[in-house]
Chains A and B, each alone.
Chain A
Amino acid sequence: MQRRPILSLPTGALFMLPAGIFIVAFILLPFFWIAAVSFTNRTLTGRTAVNPEFVGLDNYLRLFDASRFLNSGEFGASLLITGQFVFFSAIIGQAFLGLALAWFFFNRKGWIQNTVTTIAIIAWIMPDVVVAFAWFAFLNGDGGTLNQILGFFGLPTPDWLLDLPLVSVIIFNIWRGTAFSMLLFSSALGAIPPSYLETANVVGASTWQRLRDIILPMIRSHIVTALILITLWTFNTFTPFLLTGGGPSYQTEVVSIYTYRTAFQFFRFGSGAAVGMVMMIINLGFALVYLSLLRTQRRSA
């Protein structure tokens, strides 16, 4: 039997055209432009703004220059900070805590569950700037809400954003992102056929056994998807900037802030573009892992 396409090729292309134009104008062209700029010493001000020169791989070599790679404020240090930030706030914090919360409220009804879900969603839908401002006041060293509470109980009151900056932005990001993973996991849990768990109850399975043998295997694919997405988002997030500006002394400078500083505070578009390219390759790595996992799942399903 001959397969007949619904649309002829030219008509199909015509329908694709608007989307195609958008993709070319806003994704492909900027991409090639950034790739090209990353091989120049182009800046926003100064002589090289008007006459950028081709510098080959200089921008990349400088990023990975071993003699200062791990100095504070350099790319390597920034990658290390990002690694800690992503591990603690995305994997341990958001994913783990989100799953724990979702499981805790799974199949429970009542006002506590509703309240917690509502609060979590409100935390998630508020604009970044508003949230950062609230947290800035909350964490303030002299007279911030958190320190007033700690002080009331006679606990130490550090100047959070100064003394424990990375811990502060990690906690902030967990607070910010847990709601989303909780929602994600809640819907995954909701998809488990109730009969499985009822059967488990009948045969006397313990809570732990139910989690290990029924729930986790059933939502494994959701966990993988959520982990990859959360990791990607956290890797690229810029929100810590609103709290600390990457400081003090670059202690919270994740790679997105590093890129911003290079390109828009130093006006070094060439080096900034090079960082952007490296970040894109790292993101591509995450995406490839994600896609290949999806493929294996589909094959095994």
Chain B
Amino acid sequence: MLRTIRTLLVTLVLAATIAHAQNLSITFRGVAGGVNAQLVEWITSYVIPTFEANNPGVNVELIEFGGSDEQLKQQYALDLAVGGGADIMGFDGFWIPEFVEGGLLQPLNVVGGPSVDAWEGWSQIPDGLESLMAFGGERYGIANGTDFRMIHLRYDVMEEAGIENPEAWQPTSWEEVLDAARILKQANPNSYPLQINAGTSMGEATTMQGYYMLLLGTGHFLLDEDGKWIVRSQGILDALDLYETIYVEEELGDPRIQLVQDGRNRSFANFRDGATAMLVEGDWFYRGPTSPGQEFEVANRDEVMGWTKMPAQAPGAGLRGQDFVTISGGTGFALNPNSDNGELAWELLAFMNSKEALDEAQKTQPRIRIRDDVPVPDAPFLTNTAAALGQYTTARPNQSVYAQVSYEAQLMTERVVSGEMTPEQAMNEYAQAVIELVGEENTVDLLN
């Protein structure tokens, strides 16, 4: 009898050990040879083997995700709500507020334990970058870095159309951007020279790379100085009018790819093929998709591809009286509160953000890293964008309702570019929707 009990106990202990085997999983939007392939490469060929070698008995698994950002967010919300999900999750910083308020995320030091606050890396990370993945005074993750948005150009296509010296071209108003697009369209009537994202299919890429870049150029923002949501303004109308000019009246951009599921990839393909010569995107577009060996590699990139600042509607008309506009966000990694190995997961996250690991990451994708002690790579594109755009940038409202307002803004642009509504009608629908979301007392109508 005693023996039976002992056997049973041993079995139980063994089973418990197996159940607590040190397994970690990590997921983000990335596929080997596909989207974010450089990040995948760094994880699989450096982070995982090195971490496993330093921590015997630990298994780290990468779960690739090939869908869109919106689909990933949906997956996370469902995973976390039922107590599942990978231990380390690639997160866009602006998702954090609604996940936190929904009880789906916990602060790093709750999941990872006391060693989180004692981490040496915090002293190397500037406060502004730390806040990319923070909410309500708590840290929920570590960002990979921040980004900027600009107009990416195809010099070769512009030169062919007769625009001289495109390397020095810096438009100072929307009209100058349109004029260049018209010249390109005239030179090649079948092309869609200008791409400014619109529509709900591209999700946040529409808000960040499209709507904001126009709205900020009118001097407005989503919120006024008192933190009230602006539901109607001349700025919104002007931005929508520009969309209408580009996609409906002159077809300087292709309205259809704003509406389809894989539209953003199609816009990248157009740029790669030279059918689009001016594409408003983040610096990720340069670091990732168009770089050598990646999905939308632009052949002979150093010669034919460049960028210029996005101008305000007119000089001085932009946000804070600026001549040029841009906006920043950031993605990174967060810890899953459902993790069985929270402390170990933190160790892996901390390792991923160690100087040693980030130095290694610079080899697959040079960028300005979040840590001050990781040298800025010798890449003119990166240093120039940071120097030129840093002074103009702003960030999204860090509120949980933001994602829904952002969707309404995307829908508003979609209604204009699809020709369903006039800018005025679309703005009124937007106003009604935002009032429903945040309550009339938290909104302001600048046209009344």
Binding site for B on A (CB under 8 A): 43-47, 49-50, 62, 67-68, 71-73, 159, 161-162, 244-245, 247-249, 264-267
Contact = CB atoms under 8 A, between A and B. Distances in A.
15 contacts: A44-B77, A44-B102, A45-B77, A45-B101, A46-B101, A46-B401, A47-B102, A47-B400, A50-B102, A68-B432, A72-B415, A161-B260, A245-B261, A249-B418, A264-B74
A71 B81 CA distance: 32
A249 B98 contact: no
Interface in B31-81: 70, 74, 77-78, 81
A45 B260 contact: no
Contact of B420 (A45, A68, A247, A249): A249
A72 B103 contact: no
Contacts of A161: 260
B74 A43 contact: no
B414 interface: yes
B124 interface: no
Contacts of A264: 74, 78
A267 B73 CA distance: 11
A265 B400 contact: no
Interface of B: 70, 74, 77-78, 81, 98-99, 101-104, 199, 201, 256, 259-261, 400-401, 403-404, 407, 411, 414-415, 418, 420, 429, 432, 436
A43 B101 CA distance: 11
A18 B400 CA distance: 44
A45 B70 contact: no
Contacts of B259: 162, 247-249
Contacts of A267: 74, 77
Contact of A71 (B98, B400, B403, B429): B429
Given A159-B256, A244-B261, A267-B74, 5 more contacts: A49-B81, A162-B256, A249-B259, A266-B407, A267-B77
A213 to B, nearest CB: 51
Contacts of B199: 249
A267 B78 CA distance: 9
A50 B70 CA distance: 22
Contact of A47 (B101, B256, B429): B101
Contacts of A49: 81, 101-104
Nearest to B420: A72
Given A68-B429, A247-B259, A46 B201 contact: no
A11 B44 CA distance: 61
A159 to B, nearest CB: 7
Nearest to B260: A248
A78 to B, nearest CB: 15
Contacts of A159: 256
A49 B78 CA distance: 12
Contacts of A46: 98, 101-102, 400-401
B415 A45 contact: no
B81 A44 contact: yes
Nearest to B400: A46
Contacts of A249: 199, 259, 414, 418, 420
A265 B69 CA distance: 12
B404 A266 contact: yes
Nearest to A47: B101
A298 B260 CA distance: 50
Query: Of residues A45, A47, A50, A267, which shows the largest number of chain B Cβ atoms within 10 Å of its Cβ?
Result: A45
A73 B200 CA distance: 11
Contacts of A266: 404, 407
Query: Of residues A44, A46, A68, A245, which shows the largest number of chain B Cβ atoms within 10 Å of its Cβ?
Result: A46
A50 B199 CA distance: 31
B446 to A, nearest CB: 22
Contacts of B78: 44, 264
Contact of A43 (B70, B102, B420): B102
A45 B418 CA distance: 30
A132 to B, nearest CB: 12
Contacts of B414: 249
A267 B420 CA distance: 26
Contacts of A43: 102
Nearest to B414: A249
Contacts of A247: 201, 259-261
B429 A45 contact: no
Given A159-B256, A244-B261, A265-B70, A45 B98 contact: yes
Contacts of A47: 101-102, 400
A217 to B, nearest CB: 48
A248 B415 contact: no
B166 to A, nearest CB: 28
Given A72-B415, A247-B201, A266-B407, A50 B101 contact: yes
B443 to A, nearest CB: 18
Nearest to A71: B429
A160 B102 CA distance: 41
A56 to B, nearest CB: 15
A274 B78 CA distance: 20
Nearest to B199: A249
Contacts of B103: 49-50
Contacts of A244: 261
Contacts of B400: 45-47
Contacts of A265: 70, 74
Nearest to B81: A44
Contacts of B104: 45, 49
A221 B260 CA distance: 43
Query: Of residues B260, B403, B404, B420, which shows the largest number of chain A Cβ atoms within 10 Å of its Cβ?
Result: B260
A206 B187 CA distance: 66
B79 to A, nearest CB: 11
A248 B260 CA distance: 5
A264 B407 CA distance: 14
A73 B201 CA distance: 13
A50 B105 CA distance: 12
Contacts of B102: 43-47, 49-50
10 closest residue pairs by CB, A with B: A248-B259, A49-B102, A45-B102, A45-B98, A46-B98, A249-B259, A46-B400, A245-B261, A47-B101, A249-B418
A134 B309 CA distance: 43
A191 B106 CA distance: 65
Contacts of A162: 256, 259-260
Nearest to B257: A162
Contacts of B98: 45-46
A236 B171 CA distance: 52
Query: Of residues B70, B401, B414, which shows the largest number of chain A Cβ atoms within 10 Å of its Cβ?
Result: B414
A254 B226 CA distance: 41
B74 A45 contact: no
A81 B199 CA distance: 20
B40 to A, nearest CB: 24
A46 B400 CA distance: 6
